[in-house]
Structure 1
Amino acid sequence: MYLNKPILAFRQNVADKYTIYNSLFAALPFSGIANVGALLPILLQSCIDGYQNGKTPKEIIEDFFNRQAQVSNEAEQVDRLFKFVQYIERQVVLFDAIEDAAFDTVHNLNGTGSLKALYNEAYFKGKLPLLREKLKQFKVRVVLTAHPTQFYPGSVLGIIHDLGEAIAKNDFETINLYIQQLGITPFFNKKQPTPLDEAVNLMWYLENILYQSIGNIYNFISNEILEEENHNPFIELGFWPGGDRDGNPFVNASTTLKIAESLRSAIVVCYYRDIRKLKRRLTFSGVDMLVTKLEAQLYENVFRPEESRRIHQKELLGKLQEIKDLMVANHHSLYINRVNSLINKVKIFGTWFASIDIRQDSRIHTAVIKNIDATLKENNKPGILPNNYDTFSQEEKINCLLKIDQVIGVDDTSTEISKDTVESIFAINSIQQINGVQGCHRYIISNCQSALNMIEVFILFKLCGWNTDQLSVDIVPLFETIDDLKEAEQIMQWLYQLPIYKKHLQARAQSQTIMLGFSDGTKDGGYLQANWSIYTAKEQLTAISRENGIKVKFFDGRGGPPSRGGGKTNKFYASLGNNIENEEIQLTIQGQTITSNFGTLKSAQYNLEQLLSAGISNTVFAENRIELSPTHRNLLEELGGISHQVYQSFKKHPQFLPYMQQFSPLNYYNKSNIGSRPGKRGNSDKLVFEDLRAIPFVGSWSQLKQNVPGYFGVGSALQQLKNSGRWDEVKSLFTEVAFFRTLIDNSMMSMLKSFFPLTAYIQEDPLFGPVWNLIKAEYDLTHSLVLELSGNNVLMEDDQPGRASILMRDKIVLPLLTIQQYALHQLKNEQIAEDLKINYEKLITRSMFGIINAARNSA
């Protein structure tokens, strides 16, 4: 039951319960645990006191062992540190489970942002007709990705879920059993997961959480808000594991097909379970026979998929409608709501469950087309390109490609990547035949820099035998860097005018999806500039799309911490103005964001409703929002430009990357076995900034507890305007513009999760000390100015439960952070023995797990 004071609810149901249940760890009957349980509070206090007194991580660890836990040699000390790491990992899991269990006491499930609150506000303001009209077309598309921002294996995710349920019931005996199970369950993958492994892990959320929570939302809207039959699913699921090829050599066409089959199997299993439950209630004459037949058919589809006749959405809906009609005609509509609920789920999930997106880099497509041409010519077949193709202008290249009228096979390629690209396009067709068109109907082009990149993909489909006059696939450009975002308007305007692409869009209901990536934009241009660049790109793309009669849908590559576009995502969407098309909310959900926002039925339903409500409110209550004035725009442009310059200057520091490599676990991401993708693009041994992926980049700053991508440049931008006597303008911007206020709020979250005493020792380093001082100065400046701007005394003052959660989690992992920094320091000793070196590297990798997992509330 939700309490009116969320911070009080947090203390009673999270903080106090954690203190009680954490004591159970000390009683675990496993080797060395009791000793570790007794010593860990002492180590934690040593860290707290040590950092207050200016000690280094090395001094804190060595003082602790000298005073409290004498060891005979360094190897024994490392072994003890491993036990602390294992213990703390499990404390984080316990805290996760307790927070999950307390979700509905800390959050008001029917409060602001819920569908009930949305309905009530529309009712009292006389806006119900407008609300119903908006609900007929508005959707949220949640796309689950396997980006490795979380380190829990599937077995541990299951324990978190079950432990949370036991804690919610205060079932002490069961809690104790789960904690014992936790004590002997491995927390890391011994080998790198395959894309199929990642997909199977994510399917746990589809089957156990999202199937039910999305169904509940659909039922509520259909039954309580709409007055007529509904054909809009409201919420759709997307899926990247098995389809995201960008920089992942382990994803191929075979993997895509296997995962599509797994998704089909998973949703049919859900229907089969529901039909079996219904069978216990639908015992009426005639109805019972229909239910039994459908149960048998679903059984065959689940357990003998190859031999059985595949059931499709239309057939399944027809059989359920037949059951429903008979119940209405002859059996007083008893249990009709349960049948309606299953019908609704079939409408939402079909036989695809989640739609697989295919994603590949534009440079690959260019190379594939050239490889096809070369292979055809080598085999004495007509080529598809003239020999002087590379000398053509972009427009000439497009005209040349559009004249291609050949169909090729896999044998008309000669490189592995070309073969797989062609097979992937064939695989999309196979998935559409088996799972339905919704099963796979989007091809995303990473690093999209021109209209030519779009046409290359269009022509690849034509080469693979697709009818491009009725192409049942959306070609989706991904604009991510600051420069790409600037070019996006011109690229799409050119395409909208191209006759063959106009014809393609007509076949796709005059709709164009455009993906705007955030994390690489932040890595490239800094926090403020990335946000403002995406905002203005959306406005420009909306304007030209409307001019051309196109409904543009924006797909946001956002997730994880604020520096990767996450943070309070619903507030971000609620802050967008009328100049940005509001047809759908589409966003990526990844790693700890999936666990924290969609890990339980209550949290999933709450967060999905918040997203739906944010998008719908923008239209239904448009009068509540202040549009950006020219003054607001100029200010945001200036702030973004200044912060961009400051960030670029920092990025060009000769020690920028070496600093990260020296003092963070950046070089150890590939050894952590948390994801199937390599930690960087390219095959070079030397790390260059352009090849560095956003996740290890942001994650490394997070583990340094400096969180540079979440605020760097913000303070300098604010200070420059303040110095020029324009502080009142900035304060008005914060008060009047929700978009800017949301950026500052999310930046506060990044800063709250920073802890500079951990790395203060770097100040003394002659090479890297200036880098640390530069970061700390920008942090201090930003911290001071955002508090002045917001009128708050502390960071995240307006979100007391969120603040308390972050501080508790940071306290739990403080010893882990200290151990990681200690291990990094020890590895700088060139005389270190090889066996110790290996163990310290393992210690760094293992400490990453708990540190990142504990940051789940960054979402």
Structure 2
Amino acid sequence: MEPVILGDGAEKDSPLRYDIRLLGRILGETIRAQEGEAAFDMVERIRQTSIGFHREADETARAELQALLSGLPVGLATTVIRAFGHFSHLANIAEDQHHIRRTRAHALTGAAPREGTLACALGRAYATGVSGKRLQEFLDGAFCSPVLTAHPTEIRRKSSIDREMEIARLLDDRDRIHFTPAELTANRKELRRAVLILWQTSILRGSRLRVLDEVVNGLSHFDHTFLRELPRLYGDLEDELALVEGWEEVTVPSFLRVGSWIGGDRDGNPFVTAEVLREALRLQSAQALNFYLDELHLLGGELSLDERRVTVSDALRALADRSPDHSPHRATEPYRRAIAGMYARLAETARSLDGVEAARHAVGAAPAYATAEELRADLDTVFDSLCANGSASLARGRLRRLRRAVDAFGFHLASIDQRQNSDVHEAVVAELLAVAGAGTDYPATGEDARIALLRAELTGARPLSAPHLGYSERTAGELATLAEAADGRRRYGAQAVRHYIISKTDGVSDILEAAVLLKEVGLLNPREPRLDVDIVPLFETIGDLRRCGDVMDRLFSLPEYRRLLPSRGDTQEVMLGYSDSNKDGGYLTSIWELYKAQTVLIEVFARHGVAMRLFHGRGGSVGRGGGPSYQAILAQPPGAIQGSIRVTEQGEVIAAKYSNAEVGRRNLETLAAATVEATLLAADGRPPPPTAHLTVMETLSERAFAAYRGLVYETDGFERYFRESTVIGEIANLNIGSRPASRKKSTRIEDLRAIPWVFSWAQCRLMLPGWFGFGSAVRAWLADNPDGLATLQAMYRDWPFFRSALSNMDMVLAKSDIAIASRYAELVTDRALGAAIFERLRTEWLASIDAVLAITGQQSLLEGNPLLARSIRNRFPYIDPLHHVQVELLRRLRAGDPDPAVVEGIHLSINGIAAGLRNSG
């Protein structure tokens, strides 16, 4: 299966073309050997026909392709799906490797730092007059956190991801090592073996994931990326600052930390329990401690320094003397003895804390570390002794990275956010009050009365709950999970659980209810006063976003709440939901209401003297807030970042960003660099957009909102069209996550989670959540403002927010294909309904493309991003066959075909299409 790479491409892309051809050829050889000549010939015929259509836009070729694919026996259809699906994954690997290759080539030439790197961000800051002192102040107060979630858009099993990582490593070796002919042959054999295993491994899971399976999958990214690359990133940043500032020693606080929802997100997931949270915390801790034990073992092997050759500090000598290592062979090696003692203490820590036995036995018994800070103090002792006695270069290798890892990951590895829906909090508080005999009908109480009641509960230390009273399963479960969170903090440190998120926040009482529940388990103490975790309201719908400023203003005006914030550094976090606001109001209105919400929050927080941290609930696709993170952060309103930000990393995006260590390092650096620029450069006077631009955007949003709501929620039969023209039903049955696809047992779009909503539209190549309504809005506005195109063009040129919005739409529209979408529309059994709705979709799609091109001044989509355009164009011939087979199998399934292979084929096609599109959900 050797692909033809379309388009000329620059010479610098020739290694990418070579890698794709190499992997395609190996895949083809594997298919021929495993499935037979006839299957291979069919795959090749389909591939060549599809390429012919895309190269010549030949409708005869399209008809031939449809004819080939519509009559395939289900077994052969499955082989075709697997072939094109695996090729998409292999192409992704090659592209990632090429990005690494180009980054290294850029560095080797000594060129100026690239946009999105910390070096570039620091250079821009210095160029605008930011002083070293100001930069240090920023770093001292900064907080950046990518937060991993287990949202169900990652279809692949870990076994497949592991093999793909092996292929990536083998490709990387071909770049970095000057192979002999024999070594090159051996490398190719290893590639063949890896591809063979990939082909013979089932992509699909045989059973639905449990929450703890999701925890284990998430932990794999720590082992090969976060634990290793984050300390290196900090080290490089410190070295850069030392070089520029001329400082002898620079210590950057661990402002970039990894968070997780996996094991703590209870919103709509009944399988996240107190027991699951306890085990998730234990698994995370065990991962961190095992890593530290391995690094200590290696460090002890390195630091064989003899005290007859070097001087050591008194503190280091005392540390060595306390060690249980009394071997005469190491009597004159104080560093080794000290590290052996640290290893023994850490091994006991792993045993007592997590029930884990160290892979290598300690030299003797030693007491466990009570906290990660104690371990860090011992590492500091070793570090300081080396630096003070002529061995600073030794201190700045493995030891420096291990010190940073312990500081950044502690004994907890990643903070596990707690999240629950406000409706659940309301029900639990109502039951607690009823059982306690408070004499109030809480569910029937209005907002003002609720606030008064909850304020009273927050002034006293009296608990509402009692262990001897009986509660419903839901209330008992909520209290048990909160108690487990409190216990986890005591066991693993305060960083283990530090955020409590309230989904569906639409009033002050929603926040106070969570506060009362935290008080029940000791995470809020009204007497001190002290709040141990950040209470984070999540504003999701369009209505919630419009009310968020008033809600926070009223909240900060309550002395019972405001007096808690000094214990949180006078900082309040607010989470903004991209997915649900998009499903509620469409892309343009969603991003505009998010922008306005931030602007309002900036003013409210400043007036109350509270620092603001925004948590952006972004998904992988544009319809869920996706798109390039760097540009998205810089497109926020001036003053929105304030040195801290949290961003969700969801579903298949986690593997795409963090499976490869170097790609993961680049994504971590991009997040930090964007935060530096958005904070320091905006603080130095980036002007707000002109009022005229805001007015135009408001009008565009109103019209886009009307168009979107008119289609999705006000068109009779649209729900049926959606259910029958997409794979939503099949996605719901995929074993790709522990959480149900809908919040309730209904088929209503309102109850469907945003993730399968977006995922479904990507599968039929319509990408509706990323553009619908924009064309209508622009057309209507220009009808009222005939000379208004120049204004829209100026907005695109001068306003980062509007430019980012159109850039994302440009990409989404380029990935869409109305001809393929039309084939899915034919699945609607009511032909008249299907034709009528599809015509509306086609008209709006064309209008949106026309609007994007007119405003950006492009002649074609992605004209300004030729690399992405070429990547997408090269993928289409390999994605299109998957769509054609998927439609055919859907038709058979819905006609009643009982063959289980039909369902398997559909699920495999979902995987392949998602791989080809990359950020599909």
Establish whether TM, by shorter chain, passes 0.5. Answer: yes
Is the counterpart of residue 157 in structure 1 residue 174 in structure 2? Answer: no
One-letter amino acid of the structure 1 residue matched with residue 552 of structure 2: M
In 2, Cα distance between equivalents of 1:567 and 1:552: 24
Match of 1:516, SS state, is strand
Alignment-mate amino acid for residue 121 of structure 2:
L
- Structure 1 position 842, deviation (Å): 3.0
Residue 281 of structure 1 pairs with residue 302 of structure 2:
yes
* Offset at residue 7 of structure 1 (A): 5.2
For the residues of structure 2 that align with 1:200 and 1:34, how far apart are their CA atoms?
A: 40
Moved more, 323-332 or 796-805: 323-332
The 3-state SS of whatever aligns with 2:451 is: helix
8 A contact 1:371–1:413 mirrored in 2: no
Query: What is the DSSP-based 3-state SS (H/G/I as helix, E as strand, rest coil) of the residue aligned with 2:207?
Result: coil
Q: 1:102 to 1:673 in 2, by over 3 A?
A: same
Contact 2:46 2:68 in 1 (8 A): no
> What's 1:379 paired with?
none
Structure 2 portions without partners, runs of 5+:
1-6, 108-112, 175-186, 306-332, 357-366
Counterpart position of 1:318: 377
User: Partner residue of 1:663?
Assistant: 725
> CA 1:10–1:35 in structure 2 vs 1: closer, same or farther (change >3 Å)?
farther
Where in structure 1 are there 5+ consecutive unaligned residues? 70-76, 377-381
SS at match of 1:249: coil
- Letter paired with 1:602: E
Q: Secondary structure at the match of 1:280?
A: helix
Q: Does 1:355 align with 2:415?
A: yes
Which segment drifts farther, 457-466 or 126-135? 126-135
Describe the shift of the 1:413–1:493 C-alpha distance in structure 2 as closer, same or farther (beyond 3 A). farther
Alignment of 1:608-757 (within 5 A): 608-622=668-682, 625-651=686-712, 652-682=714-744, 684=745, 686-723=746-783, 724-725=785-786, 726-757=788-819
Q: CA deviation at 1:332?
A: 3.4
Find the partner of 1:560 among 620, 632, 637.
620
Does 2:507 correspond to 1:450? yes
Q: Deviations over 1:790-818 (max 9, x none)?
A: 11222222222222222333332211111
Q: Report the 3-state secondary structure (helix = DSSP H, G, I; strand = E; otherwise coil) of the residue aligned with 1:793.
A: coil
74, 83, 87: which is aligned to 2:83? 87
Distance (Å, rounded) in 1 between the aligned partners of 2:764 and 2:558: 49
* AA partner of residue 681 (structure 1): R
Contact 1:56 1:761 in 2 (8 A): no
Superposition pairs of residues 448-847 of structure 1, within 5 angstroms? 448-466=505-523, 467-468=525-526, 469-622=529-682, 625-651=686-712, 652-682=714-744, 684=745, 686-723=746-783, 724-725=785-786, 726-761=788-823, 765-829=831-895, 832-833=896-897, 835-836=898-899, 838-847=900-909
Find the counterpart in structure 2 of residue 73 from structure 1. Answer: none
1:245 maps to which of 254, 257, 266 = 266
- Flag the 1:549–1:34 CA change in 2: closer, same or farther, 3 A: farther
Encode CA deviations 1:74-118: one digit per residue, 9 max, x unaligned.
xxx011111112222322221222122222234557412211222
Residue aligning to 2:190: 174
Quickly say closer, same or farther: Cα 1:368–1:736, change in 2 above 3 A.
same
Q: Paired residue for 2:45, among 37, 42, 45? A: 42
8 Å contact kept, 1:268–1:351: yes
- Asked if structure 2 preserves the Cα contact closer than 8 Å seen for 1:151 and 1:674, the reply is yes
CA distance in 2, matches of 1:302, 1:463: 30
Q: Which residue does the alignment assign to 1:306?
A: 355
- Report the Cα offset of residue 575 of structure 1: 2.0
Match of residue 22 from structure 2:
20
Distance apart, 1:310 and its partner CA: 5.0
Q: CA RMSD in A?
A: 2.5
Secondary structure, aligned partner of 1:247:
coil
Q: Give secondary structure in 1 for the equivalent of 2:502.
A: strand
Q: Return the match for 2:425 from 361, 365, 376.
A: 365
C-alpha separation in 2, matches of 1:441 and 1:557 = 17
- Within the candidate set 492, 504, 511, 1:435 is matched to 492
Note the C-alpha offset of 1:762.
Answer: 6.3
Match of 2:138 in 1: 134
2:80 and 2:369 map into 1 onto residues whose CA distance is 52
Establish whether residue 854 from structure 1 lines up as the match of residue 875 from structure 2.
no
The separation in 2 between residues aligned to 1:252 and 1:490, in whole angstroms, is: 34
For residues 410 and 391 of structure 1, the distance between their equivalents in structure 2, rounded to whole angstroms, comes to 27
Partner Cα separation in structure 2 for residue 846 and residue 780 of structure 1: 31
Paired with 2:764 and 2:794, the residues of 1 have a C-alpha distance of: 34
How far apart are 1:6 and its partner, in Å? 13
Q: Do the aligned residues in 1 keep the contact of 2:49 with 2:64 (CA within 8 Å)? A: no
Deviations 1:514-533 (A, max 9, x none): 00010111000110110010
Shift of 1:291: 0.8
SS at match of 2:862: coil
Q: Give the drift of 1:334.
A: 4.8
Q: Distance in 1 between matches of 2:70 and 2:667?
A: 45
**Residue in structure 1 matching 2:98, options 92, 99, 102:** 102
Question: Which range moved further: 247-256 or 112-121?
Answer: 112-121
Comparing 618-627 with 779-788, which one deviates more in the overlay?
618-627
The 10-residue stretch of structure 1 (559-568 or 387-396) with the greater mean CA deviation from structure 2? 387-396
Distance across 1 between alignment mates of 2:689 and 2:468: 55
Residue 21 to residue 839, structure 1, CA distance change in 2 (3 Å): closer
Q: Is the 8 A contact 2:758 2:920 kept in 1?
A: no
- What is the distance in 2 between the residues matched to 1:502 and 1:97? 50
Are residues 1:395 and 2:395 paired?
no
Amino acid at match of 1:176: R
Q: Secondary structure at the match of 1:234?
A: coil
| 1:188 matches 2:193 | no
The separation in 2 between residues aligned to 1:438 and 1:702, in whole angstroms, is: 37
Hey, what's the Cα distance between the residues in 1 that align with 2:591 and 2:470? 41
Deviation at 1:464, TM superposition (A): 3.1
What code does the residue aligned with 2:93 have?
A: A
SS of 2:572 mapped into structure 1: strand
Shift in Å at residue 56 of structure 1? 12
C-alpha displacement at 1:142, in angstroms? 0.5
CA distance in 1 between counterparts of 2:611 and 2:11 reads 44
**Shift of residue 64, structure 1, vs aligned partner:** 4.9
CA distances 1:8-42 after superposition (whole Å, capped 9, x unpaired): 36732323321222111222275425433332131
Letter in 1 for 2:268: G
Q: Equivalent pairs: percent with the same residue?
A: 25
Partner residue in 2 for 1:72: none
After TM superposition, the structure 1 stretch with the greater mean CA deviation from structure 2, 844-853 or 498-507, is 844-853
CA contact under 8 A between 1:749 and 1:858: conserved in structure 2?
no
Letter in 1 for 2:635: S
Shift in Å, 1:123: 4.2
| Cα distance in structure 2, aligned partners of 1:532 and 1:402 | 34
SS state of the match for residue 417, structure 2?
A: strand
- The answer on whether the counterparts of 2:585 and 2:708 sit within 8 Å (CA) in structure 1 is yes
